[in-house]
Structure 1
């Protein structure tokens, strides 16, 4: 039986093969379609599969075919019958032919992994570029080398490559698999790797005429093309200079209409920044800094007249000294009335808006490190046109020879190398021959004071950040360390910063952004009475820091011994700053064109500035210097010349003056704690009519701000490290002038004697309630109108709620048809005009609500 079955299978298989290979011949006239199909079945050996109802109402068939293929026979027989066929495994399937019906979707074909590099227009690698699969919510971003990798792709996926400031590139995976010619036009080159994966080289193009550029004002974001205000935007990475620790000094020469004058290279001092010139002769001329939507103020309340005075407090004048430049994404400068009206009177001098880097949704974990070391060689005296020792000594000889008789017994308040030799000769310390030999030696000293007061500067900066983004939460954290050993002797600064920002999609309509920033700084600089640069440039080159035995060489200043290197060691400023900021921003999307947001920001800064003059400093020794030895070997009193001394009222007024200051140094301690609060609620509405080209945007909000600063200044005498001791009775006499006549009391009271440095406590309070609004209209991005209003009520002035406003308009001529003919020569033309009422923040005096001075207790 098994053998019979085998032969039957072989026989019928042979018959089927032979039948299928035969050609089909049909000869029918007005036959039914069913007859035709039966004949095809008999000749081909194929079975038919169809619904019987398909043959109802079919037309008679007349066909004459001889030795044609099966496909030809079927297509001819079914012509005009609204039927179609398909062949599958010896079966002919008949279906209804419906031309308008959509074909069944084919299952996607899995694609190999795709990796690549994204390059900018100049061929450099672009980091942070978003590479996503459209509609899927999956994707990645390029690393520091511009590389990316995507897996688990299908041939019908569409890749979207996008980054702010560049044109978006979209390519289908099927085009990549087929190496389509469309790719070259999009700036995409493809290479197939040996493992079957695909490698892409994508060249991004810069977005044309700022169409995609967004203006960030701090209150809202607007398309630059549709904005009537005057603004300029720069990327932080384009101006970041490793040797400059703060962003404000990096802006020099980067923005048209903005001048930056660096008055000091010392870290923490504020440069003089002017946006379109000055607005006041004596008031505030500095622009308003805004960090992530909230004004960022200096941690100290410094009067405009003192801002560039060089005092110890000026080391805290820069509002950006605690901001890591590596955390900054871009900077927007608002210049005219239209652009700045939303900030009221504080923005009269322009606004500089800083936006920090943030993570994005659906981005993989990305870790970035940035580090640099900068070595700056110290300057040399050869860079300056100054007298050498020979010329200086000859000039000294000519001057002193002309007044030799008068100088025999004169004791100068200050002396240099030649006058010191004269004094030593006059008191018989040197013979005339020794004096001439010493003068000859002076002519060859040629001290390069820059070599002693400056050093090769070593600066290092390190910054590390990590970013991650999911569908519902994303965040970025960064740490930085800044260490500058300083350019001058005795100068150094260390800064640490921590920056955390995160975003949360709480619901479909509600989102939240959280930001925390912390910075600390430890800094040491020469005291305010000591300026290494001025001394190195102006000091005579025939003076020297050390004598022939290697000991400090002293000259005279304030009748007391002075050595610049020793003074830097004993007269210095020590600064400590701690700054903590926290901010939360909630946004609720009521509809596609209406949203409401709320923001709360709080910041606490503590600043300690200690200016120390030890007992070995020249400044402290001046209070105890009463006389010198005259040429005859007698004590020569200088009581009437030394302004630091004081006449003791308990003694006869004709007696010699004395110093009531205790043995030790002087400490000027300045401590301030600042607290800032900002609360804001605003509503934004957008209406766009694409059909007619009309667009309207409206914004309204309210804001409450508070700036509270309290601090104290105290001068402590008898400073010996951690102690400061004095005689209260002596100090009381010093301040009150007890026992002195009225004219003597005025001359020798403590304020005059100690140069106005009374102890005092200050309290600064500024509270502001504001409301603001903005209404803008544009037609087809050609004609733009903008109106802004802000009203501030503060506790500083009698006039409450005095509004400031601005109206502006712009005409984008580049969008006009007549500009197309010259568009290749002129890329963008915009005419704008603005008019507004802007006030001035005024002097800071009214904000001082407490001043406690003339304290008799100076030891606490």
Structure 2
């Protein structure tokens, strides 16, 4: 497949997004110019000199230092100036005084002019201020005690202080969040000071999305991590970096391909039919659900894996923090969307500082898989299996094709006397030595790169932050690539001393490439026999023979297949462009009372394509019946072809326009030093409009200027047999309306909410919140219109009690928390209204046709989850923090219930399912070493979840549903939602090596099957529940998660390691036999475990792997629900094939070198760091996976080696 060199989509659709990125670069110089050219307005009448200083401070980034004694006599000053510079203002203000001024590090120093007659001796003091880790602290204030005279440290923590000689000099070193130091001057010329953190005054804050609060005032369960602490340079999306980082949050990888997203669950699964993913909030704005595709169209099989999720567009380098909200007290304010938890992301903002520029680049290498990683047969072993099976009389699903490329094909040619015995032996010897390396042909050692350039700074009046990011990710499979271009602009403006505006614009363009229907390079490499050729002796593609299944040609045509040819002439790709705009306007009405407006607009456009060209086996087998270019015009096969020329193109597009408006009023006040109150009330209006369109084009030829060739008209199609054809042939999909779809859905919601946080003496805290949602997605019953979510919680910090002060040096925090509340979840795909799918004219009736998609249900409401949460927070010695939580969640779910067939459907959605989640969570963070040169931090977290259904869905559930663990249909009382069942393996039949099973038939005391004397058939057990013929095998999702993060620093070198642990999940091993029990096809590779299969009586004592199927009579087992299965399929889904999917993964090893600041200064840069990382270092799991990753089951996570550089200017 050839990919276009043009990264940007067409200008008509997404040119505005691309233009946004260029606009950011154009705007930036203007921002810097505004900052550099601040103008000052002065309007003072009969004021003091200090009023001039205050006016300048309010309009600029400058601060003033002076002695009160020096300036207090200058009163009655009148000044009026417009757009003046600082130099002009100060010159005018001090013109008639004996004062002079100068600037150091944006601090204006005012002092008396030196008396020329008297020379006062000056003292010069220099030094450096650092923290306990020897990191310089810029902006530290150094003052002469009792005066405003002093200096401030620069970016390197250094200062220079000049003072008049005095009898007593005491210096005060102060900085926000640090304990001030008082140093008595005793003649030193250099004074270095170390400041320590002030734990009592450093009040940590948390962001809930709707508000920012002191952490000590929050009762709910939430965890905040810095993006810099979880960063994995090789990945392009933040969700991929969160595995094992937050207690109670389970992150499961679903694919090794680039562009895919993991599955995330917070505190278990609380819904059956609804979206089980958490709610994502970015800078206070809820992100809409990911775009959907037609799940029934085979052409989108790979496309649906590369669409991403709600935050795939967000550049991880732009993220400041990630906060995970877990219980009802933390999430109830999000109403009917919060039952699955909420993940709140805050992005970076500009700071009041000089302009800084930062570049970060990462270059990654992914290692391709190899056969040495898996327990697969080589050519010789595969041919030996075929030889043994052939001699044993194995049953084939169809007569092997006469071919020199397979053992069976060679033997057929020999027995049909097409070749001699010597020729057959030579051909088989060649097959044994072929050993095609499919991994080498279909995968690669790939190279990826990420680049991020950011610029930020500002003044008291305005701050800015601009970033550009580019990511080019190459997967290990050929043609699997993902590219992302992002730009972000944030401007904060102080419009008035009490009014602040914050504007954010984000534009992204994503492009991901995958595969068309039937093309899966990794699976093909694993499952294709190594005796098969990829190229012939001339170096051309070798096409494997496959029997055609084209319905209009029954002459037994042979088709050629080569996966490299399929990849050359087919593809799937997805383009997404997104524009996010957010405005945050705050107005401090009076001290403590603030109004805030938040408005966000999100526009997302997706263009998806999946194409299979006329040269592919897919098109030949489905629409033509012969290989490309092998039949002449007018031949019998040509006349039977529906699509003699051209291929199939699927086009899908989606437009999502979502907007959100919040109006909030908050009140914060401290009364009498002991009572602190924080109240927030607000309204929220949101709307999401989605337009999905798709169409399938037949006869599309990409190579000929994207032409479309007309399919064969119905009157010209001549089938080779008597088989019937649809009235319109290939065009039936188009004429019946099935070849294209158009879906429009709008979801509107209006909400009111309020929160309260009250703290007494920082010991006792009360939280409460309430929210009510009105939506067009709910039923029309009066009791559904007002059905609010709410929560309340209490906490008690025992360490703040007076009687606990004797432990204050050891026990810094000991807080007990308890909360209760209601969380909600809306099933977006379900509506209370009657929904019809409009069709075209039905020929039989000559009338338009409509199909019932959804029956009306005016009683339908959103799903509710009642949550209790109990927590304990402990801090010891200021370097040990612990957290312990227990929770229980009771959910009322929407389920599918059967209804009478006269309603036109088998079932409808109703409220009635009940699920309980309960669990414990634990986290520990310690810093056992923290000195100037050494620091060691360790972070541990773990969680255990118990998930149980308390009701059963009454839908018709089959044995196959139980075997597959179909979560949308199986809700079994007393079992977890992700439960599955298996057949109970008994033994291998000693006569033929076929598997036998327990629990299905009636047996006598000796264990023999009881046979009906009249019919001669085994008697099935009489059961009340289908699971009585199966055995419970466990859950597909883990119930225990854990993580370990450790960092060891020595001077500028930091060594880090990340580990994740998932326990409790079960998976089935792949079945080496086909589901029908026949011998595997000759072109299929096999697991080496089949070398240990049953081959003769007595082998059943040393193996549990069945022998090859040799019975000439097809054998199936009919079960209690009327379904029938082959015993070889049953063996593959028996308890014997179930293994533990628990694993411990070393996610990352990293080494970072922060270059010494003095060296950087010599090169004119602010900072420089280099890092080397390795991802997916190793995984410890059940050996039965034979090299496959326990998360993925049938694939592997490639090792990734990365090198990165970070430069600050």
The two structures have a TM-score, normalised by structure 2, of 0.52
Corresponding residue of 1:599: 598
Give distance in 2, aligned partners of 1:323 and 1:142. 34
Deviation of 1:619 after TM superposition, in Å, equals 1.1
Give the distance between the partners of 2:810 and 2:547, measured in 1 at CA. Answer: 69
Q: Give 2:491's match in structure 1, choosing from 502, 506, 516.
A: 502
Shift, 1:826, TM fit: 5.5
Aligned equivalents of 1:733, 1:770: Cα separation in 2: 61
Aligned to 1:229: 220
- 2:266 is aligned with 1:285: no
Written as runs of structure 1 = structure 2, the 5 A alignment for 1:151-230 is 160-162=174-176, 167-168=177-178, 170=180, 175=183, 192=190, 202=194, 205=197, 208=199, 212-230=203-221
Cα distance in structure 1, aligned partners of 2:597 and 2:162: 40
- Tell me, in whole angstroms, the C-alpha distance in 1 between the residues paired with 2:252 and 2:128: 45
Does 1:445 pair with 2:437? no
Please state whether the residue corresponding to 2:390 is helix, strand or coil.
Answer: helix
Q: Does 1:764 align with 2:745?
A: yes
Q: Which residue of 1 aligns with 2:77?
A: none
Is 1:723 the counterpart of 2:722 in the alignment?
no
Which among 801, 806, 812 is matched to residue 791 of structure 2?
A: 806
Alignment equivalent of 1:373, drawn from 363, 377, 389: 363
**Secondary structure of residue in 2 paired with 1:342:** helix
Other structure's SS at 1:506 match = strand
Matches within 5 A, 1:124-523: 131=140, 147=156, 160-162=174-176, 167-168=177-178, 170=180, 175=183, 192=190, 202=194, 205=197, 208=199, 212-301=203-292, 311-361=302-352, 363-403=353-393, 417-422=406-411, 430-523=419-512
CA contact (8 A) 2:581 2:602 kept: yes
Where do residues 625-704 of structure 1 align in structure 2 (5 Å cutoff)? 626=625, 658-691=640-673, 693-704=674-685
Q: Secondary structure at the match of 2:312?
A: coil
TM-score computed with the length of structure 1 as normaliser: 0.72
How many Å separate the matches in 2 of 1:142 and 1:563?
66
Contact 2:612 2:649 in 1 (8 A): yes
- Aligned partners of 1:292, 1:279: CA distance in 2, in Å? 26
Deviation at 1:584, TM superposition (A): 0.9
Mapped partners of 1:248, 1:594: distance in 2:
36
Shift in Å, 1:466: 0.8
Q: Distance in 2 between matches of 1:661 and 1:705?
A: 47
Q: What residue number does 1:841 align with?
A: 826
**CA contact 2:181–2:195 (8 Å) conserved in 1:** no
Partners of 1:782 and 1:303 in 2: how far apart? 55
SS in 2 for 1:443: helix
Aligned residue number for residue 564 of structure 1: 563
SS of the equivalent of 2:824 reads coil
Spell out, residue by residue over 1:296-339, the C-alpha distance to the aligned partner (whole angstroms, 9 max, x if none): 22441469999xx9641332232222111111111111000000
User: 3-state SS of the aligned residue for 1:792?
Assistant: strand
Instruction: Tell me the residue number matched to 1:183.
Output: none
SS at match of 1:444: helix
1:390–1:237 distance in 2 versus 1, CA, 3 Å: same
Residues 113, 587 of structure 1: alpha-carbon distance in 2 compared, 3 angstrom cutoff: farther
Distance 1:754 1:428 in 2: 51
Output the CA distance in 2 between the equivalents of 1:669 and 1:222. 47
Deviation at 1:717, TM superposition (A): 1.1
Specify whether residues 407 and 169 from structure 1 end up closer, same or farther in structure 2 by C-alpha distance, changes over 3 A only: closer
Alignment match, 2:36:
none
Q: Distance in 1 between matches of 2:131 and 2:538?
A: 64
Q: Which region of structure 1 is more displaced relative to structure 2, 397-406 or 718-727?
A: 397-406
Between 1 and 2, higher relative CO (CA 8 Å, sep ≥ 6) is seen in 2
Preserved CA contact (<8 Å) 1:490 1:569: no
- For residues 139 and 615 of structure 1, the distance between their equivalents in structure 2, rounded to whole angstroms, comes to 77
Give the CA deviation at 1:522: 2.0
Change (3 A) 1:759 1:286: same
Deviation at 1:425, TM superposition (A): 5.3
Secondary structure in structure 2 of the residue aligned to 1:321: coil
Q: Distance in 2 between matches of 1:554 and 1:176?
A: 89
After TM superposition, the structure 1 = structure 2 runs for residues 582-593 of structure 1, keeping only pairs within 5 Å, are: 582-593=581-592
Tell me how far apart the structure 2 counterparts of residues 283 and 568 of structure 1 sit (CA, whole Å).
36
Note the C-alpha offset of 1:350: 0.6
Contact 1:130–1:139 (Cα < 8 Å) also in 2 = no
Alpha-carbon distance, 1:667 to partner: 0.7
Q: Distance in 2 between matches of 1:302 and 1:680?
A: 31
> Are the structure 2 counterparts of residues 397 and 256 from structure 1 closer, same or farther at C-alpha, using a change threshold of 3 Å?
same
Distance in 1 between residues matched to 2:526 and 2:560, nearest whole Å? 21
Q: CA offset at residue 176 of structure 1?
A: 9.1
In structure 2, C-alpha distance between the alignment counterparts of 1:110 and 1:305, rounded to whole Å: 85
CA distance in 2, matches of 1:552, 1:853: 45
- RMSD over equivalenced CA pairs, Å: 4.3
Q: Which runs of 5+ in 1 are unaligned?
A: 1-104, 181-190, 193-197, 629-634, 636-651
In the alignment, is the contact (CA less than 8 A) between 2:302 and 2:572 conserved in 1?
no
Structure 2 counterpart of 1:81: none
